Structure 1
Amino acid sequence: MPGEERTFRLPDLGEGLTEAEIVAWRVAEGDLVGVDDVVVDVETAKATVEVPCPHAGRVTKLHGAPGTTITVGAPLITVAAPEPAVAGGGPDIAAGAAAGGAESGAVLVGYGTGNASLRRRSRSRTAHAGAPRVLSPVVRRLARDRGVDVRVLSGSGPGGVILRRDVESAGVAAHAAGVANGAAAHDVAPASSGVPHRRPHPTPSIGREPLSGVRRAIADKLARSRREIPDATTWVDVDATALVEARDALRTAAPDRPVGLLALLGRITVAALVRFPALNASVDADGDDLVLVRHGSVGLGFAAQTDRGLVVPVVRDAQDLSTAELAAELARLTDAARAGTLTPAEVTGGTFTLNNYGVFGVDGSTPIINHPEAALLGVGRIVDKPWVVDGQLAVRKVTQLSLTFDHRVCDGGVAGGFLRYVADCVESPLGLLLDL
């Protein structure tokens, strides 16, 4: 007979996150689990998270199917503790029972129990739970964007895993079927002139879906920014030739520690924030009053476009990093963003955002501030343009910098001073050495 049942509830995932969507169960009802085994993957507004269970025993109930959104504190999984005499319970359960009632002693805060030796159970158990075998966050997002129901797909990957090509093929078929159905539904009626005409009809839709996960978080944050922040934008064209040359020189001098333009722009931004600390701030509400919060360190966020949407990883304490260290951290966070493995802590705590939208081939923008920050620096593409140098016309590498700032935090003089300092450093990066 099973022992006492324990229900594990969705833990506090940190950083004010209040809900998560069940992506895939790692276990099925009837399975045996050990203390701190990962039992489910959930997707929050910040990242995809593996959640371990602090109880050992036999799973008696899974509280929610894949795709269900549950709130923090809601039941997640129920486990019946094993009887001491049960044989074949496995080393995980035996160890858990010996440690005190088959229960973890780790604190469930953040995105797991904090146990550094989390054991991953076989992903093959996902199939036993009857859940669609979609293991990639990228594939899940693609299916949602295209209105494809993964529950009716047959995966072409190993073990029936649904791959990108499966979703793309299903999306093309659904679109073709929708177009065909729409054409067949067109009623043709004779006109008074005797020439047939088609009756007006609404444009056919190929799918509707609620905003959820990362897309919902982006929508909420941007809408709140526009509602609350009286923003203004200022911009300037700059000669970035010397910055490109500095990048090339650093790569030649230290090929094992690559430094890109984003790292150099980040280094310049941090120096500018040290000189103009008014922009390293935010406005907070204290009842009916507004409070100006000045930050003691720089959390440098940078916009990263991924298949899951736009995310803003944060380099903590950026003012303490060298240029090479900053470059390495930017590269690490970019890789994690594209892989969908950023933790909640890595996408929160920002105090200023750098947005290099030039990678999309555009010159300028008026970006929306990443609430609750006070400003955002945008960088356009670097292109060859005619430029006057010492009274002579020359071809130089030119880019446009734009600064969107919260007018409650500072006035145009401070914002202009900040942007001009950044522009001067871009045009003469060696001058930055005077401030380091």
Structure 2
Amino acid sequence: MKTAVAPRVFRLPDLGEGLTEAEVLEWKVAVGDTVEVDQVVVEVETAKAAVEVPVPFAGTVLKLHAGPGAVLGVGEPLIEVGEAGAGSGSEDPAAARYREEEQAGSGNVLIGYGTGGASGTRRRRGRARPADKASDTVAGDAGTAAARPRLAPRVISPLVRRIAREHGVDIAAVTPTGPRGVILRRDVEQAIAAAAPAEPATAAVAGPAGGLADERIPLRGLRRAVADKLTRSRAEIPDATTWVDVDATGLLDVRDALRRTRPDLGIGLLALLARICVSGLRRFPELNSSVDTGRGEIVRHGRVNLGFAAQTDRGLVVPVVRDAHLMTTGDLAAELARLTGLARAGKLPPEALTGGTFTLNNYGVFGVDGSTPIINHPEAALLGVGRFVDRPWVHDGAVVPRKVAQLSLTFDHRVCDGGTAGGFLRYVADCVEDPSVLIAHS
């Protein structure tokens, strides 16, 4: 007789980079599914990136230990896998019948995840409880149904939960039409349609004092990591900022010339600014440093790992171009484009967001002239670039319109004094105003 294989629990693994927890974004499997070794079963979001997690076991999914939005620490139970076929009789038949409909709009379905409970727990599949059996009785005994306590609403599809959330629909108030009390997409859409005529165009949720109600947004994932890093930067680094206005007409002319003569290289303004920063850090290596507070030492880095700020749907991230000092301008342009694409797609690996030694922030794309940015801890400096706009400027003895931008350098006063910071910023400004300076020093 074959010996049954005991169920195995796969716990949230150590995802590296010092990460201690992750938030469940989306399950790729459901209870009752068969999985193979190294099959991706869930996507989680860490403080640095979204990560797809494979399971090291093969068999049948018996239990998902956390739903979307749940935050798990490293080592906490994630998924339980049993012998192949072990869960074939444990999945809710109604959920199985309706899985095809719900998957049509939502991808993989997380079976049995309920949104009605504040605790975020789920009911196990298997033998129905008395309340579940009661919900299967044929409608007709209205008095008995009214007296029966209502079960927590059950939503199978992540799509249904998202539609309800986006339209402000209270799932607990939705009448389910699916078997065993499952709320379907049509139920939520019907609730949205029913509420629409009753809500004036200017309706707002009233707060205790008649104003708008407060909204509480969990500080987790990437946003919490950014908040922690910026808070630490402000607490530990005695920063100072210096700035200068520059005539960037010459640099923009070089960019336009490269676009005409070498469009294959894809060299844009950010790549040129990155090239200038790398050259400046060679001349002023004090700014390519960090401070080891534990040992009381300044660490002057031999490599230039250039970070650049990128705005994404998940928030502000800082991908890192490693060994930027070894790259040509064309190489820099290619790597900047590659990392930007990954960032916007939410596919940056955690290692692409760490190890920076200096950051370039082109906040001019937001239409602003200047800023005093916070240093990306544990780095020692950050160069900010404002928008390039036409302004009156004295050029060759005459006041003429030129493309002018403001450059700002925020630096750690522990690694250098104002003279060094000013020297770096002046060198950058000279290269922007006259790119031949960059060629002469490269």
Q: Which residue of 2 aligns with 1:126?
A: 109
Q: Which residue of 1 aligns with 2:206?
A: 182
Amino acid at match of 1:227: A
**8 A contact 2:31–2:110 mirrored in 1:** no
Offset at 1:124? Answer: 4.2
CA distance in 1, matches of 2:12, 2:204: 45
Question: Structure 2 regions of 5+ residues with no counterpart?
Answer: 89-105, 114-155, 175-183, 186-191
**8 A contact 2:306–2:359 mirrored in 1:** yes
Amino acid at match of 2:406: Q
Residue among 353, 357, 374 paired with 1:368: 374
CA, structure 1 residues 125+361, in 2 after alignment: closer, same or farther (shift >3 Å)? Answer: closer
Residue among 372, 386, 398 paired with 1:392: 398
Amino acid at match of 1:11: P
Aligned length: 367
Q: Which residue of 2 aligns with 1:80?
A: 82
Map 1:41-56; keep pairs closer than 5 Å.
41-56=43-58
Map 1:260-299; keep pairs closer than 5 Å.
260-286=268-294, 289-299=295-305
Amino acid at match of 1:243: L
Q: Which residue of 2 aligns with 1:37?
A: 39
Map 1:10-409; keep pairs closer than 5 Å.
10-82=12-84, 124-128=107-111, 130=113, 132-133=157-158, 179=203, 182=206, 201=209, 203-205=211-213, 207-286=215-294, 289-409=295-415
Amino acid at match of 1:421: Y
CA, structure 1 residues 393+210, in 2 after alignment: closer, same or farther (shift >3 Å)? Answer: same
Offset at 1:207? Answer: 2.3
**8 A contact 1:351–1:373 mirrored in 2:** yes
**8 A contact 1:48–1:341 mirrored in 2:** yes
**8 A contact 1:276–1:414 mirrored in 2:** yes
Amino acid at match of 2:245: D
CA, structure 1 residues 399+206, in 2 after alignment: closer, same or farther (shift >3 Å)? Answer: same
CA distance in 2, matches of 1:39, 1:64: 13
**8 A contact 1:259–1:327 mirrored in 2:** yes
Question: Structure 1 regions of 5+ residues with no counterpart?
Answer: 89-122, 154-159, 162-167, 186-200
CA distance in 2, matches of 1:150, 1:214: 28
Can you list the C-alpha shifts for 1:296-326, whole angstroms capped at 9, x where unaligned?
2111111111121111111111111111111
Map 1:405-420; keep pairs closer than 5 Å.
405-420=411-426
CA, structure 1 residues 175+75, in 2 after alignment: closer, same or farther (shift >3 Å)? Answer: farther
CA distance in 2, matches of 1:223, 1:419: 26
CA, structure 1 residues 150+255, in 2 after alignment: closer, same or farther (shift >3 Å)? Answer: farther
CA distance in 2, matches of 1:147, 1:17: 34
- Secondary structure of 2:356's counterpart equals coil
Q: Which residue of 1 aligns with 2:126?
A: none
Amino acid at match of 2:359: T
CA distance in 1, matches of 2:173, 2:313: 23
CA, structure 1 residues 318+293, in 2 after alignment: closer, same or farther (shift >3 Å)? Answer: same
CA, structure 1 residues 249+212, in 2 after alignment: closer, same or farther (shift >3 Å)? Answer: same
Amino acid at match of 1:298: V
Return the TM-score normalized by structure 1: 0.76
CA, structure 1 residues 181+318, in 2 after alignment: closer, same or farther (shift >3 Å)? Answer: closer
**8 A contact 2:205–2:213 mirrored in 1:** no
Return the TM-score normalized by structure 2: 0.75
**8 A contact 2:206–2:213 mirrored in 1:** no
Q: Which residue of 1 aligns with 2:146?
A: none
**8 A contact 1:147–1:208 mirrored in 2:** no
CA, structure 1 residues 180+344, in 2 after alignment: closer, same or farther (shift >3 Å)? Answer: closer
**8 A contact 1:132–1:150 mirrored in 2:** no
In our comparison, the structure showing a higher alpha carbon Rg is: 2
**8 A contact 1:26–1:38 mirrored in 2:** yes
Amino acid at match of 1:47: A
Can you list the C-alpha shifts for 1:142-184, whole angstroms capped at 9, x where unaligned?
x79x98889999xxxxxx99xxxxxx99xx999979945539x
Hey, which bits of structure 1, 4+ residues long, moved more than 3 A?
A: 127-132, 146-153, 172-181
- Secondary structure of 2:109's counterpart equals helix
CA, structure 1 residues 317+180, in 2 after alignment: closer, same or farther (shift >3 Å)? Answer: closer
CA distance in 2, matches of 1:236, 1:304: 23
Offset at 1:212? Answer: 1.1
**8 A contact 2:204–2:212 mirrored in 1:** no
CA distance in 2, matches of 1:330, 1:348: 15
Taking only the aligned residue pairs, the percentage that are identical comes to: 62
CA, structure 1 residues 347+29, in 2 after alignment: closer, same or farther (shift >3 Å)? Answer: same
CA distance in 1, matches of 2:410, 2:199: 40
